[in-house]
Amino acid sequence: MPAQRGAAEGSLGEDGWVSVGSVTRVFGVRGAVKVRGVDPEMFVPGRDVIAVAADGTRRPLHVSAVRKAARHLVVEFAGINDPEVARQLRGASLMVQRSDLPQLPAGVFRAADLVGLTVCDNRLGELGTVRRIVHYPAADMLCVGDRGVLIPFMRAYRVRVDLPARRIEVELPPGFEDLL
């Protein structure tokens, strides 16, 4: 029951736009950029995305080329052929329309769908709201509540997601309440 890697935090924008990655830095001298926190299927030549800067500035982009690198993708956008121009994209969240996203198999969820859901434990009650998803090699973690308590998103904790009810039910082991 993995959380599909969407964005680092899996944010959902207004009007049905979903973050599928972020630009980390310029790559090379031709204006390509490194992109992290993505499902590689989201970045294919021909895809249109919106780059949203930290200040809210939006810039439409058209993916012209993509290649995989060690822990990221190297993405080239049409019309960006200069590293100085590409540098302006650093830190931008890359958004796509939710309707453009492929259908996921049953039991697999996008991080953007989980953020904002209320997490409840059958013994401890309501634990808080999912603030973001943190992706670790061993498991995805729900970052819950104001204190950012990490709850493993794993079958061992009997995680049940009810999207229509905006609720995630878990069964945490005894002693977990000491972390809250």
Mean pLDDT by 10 residues, the chain (180 residues): 41 67 92 83 88 91 92 93 94 88 82 90 93 85 91 90 94 84
- Domains in the chain (CATH in brackets) are 3-100 (2.40.30.60), 116-179 (2.30.30.240)
Nearest to 168 by CA among 137, 136, 140: 140
Q: How many CB atoms lie within 10 A of CB 120?
A: 17
Nearest to 174 by CA among 99, 123, 109: 123
Q: Report the Cα–Cα distance between both ends of the chain, in Å, rounded.
A: 24
Nearest to 159 by CA among 117, 104, 116, 131: 117
Nearest-angstrom CA–CA distance, 13 and 152: 25
Nearest-angstrom CA–CA distance, 65 and 107: 31
Buried-state track 64-103, b at ≥16 Cβ within 10 A, e below 16? bebeeeeebbbbbbeebeebeebebbeebbbbbeeeebee
What is this structure's pTM?
Answer: 0.68
Q: In this predicted structure, what is the pLDDT of residue 103?
A: 80
Q: In this predicted structure, what is the pLDDT of residue 23?
A: 94
Quick check: helix, strand or coil at residue 67?
strand
Q: In this predicted structure, what is the pLDDT of residue 38?
A: 64
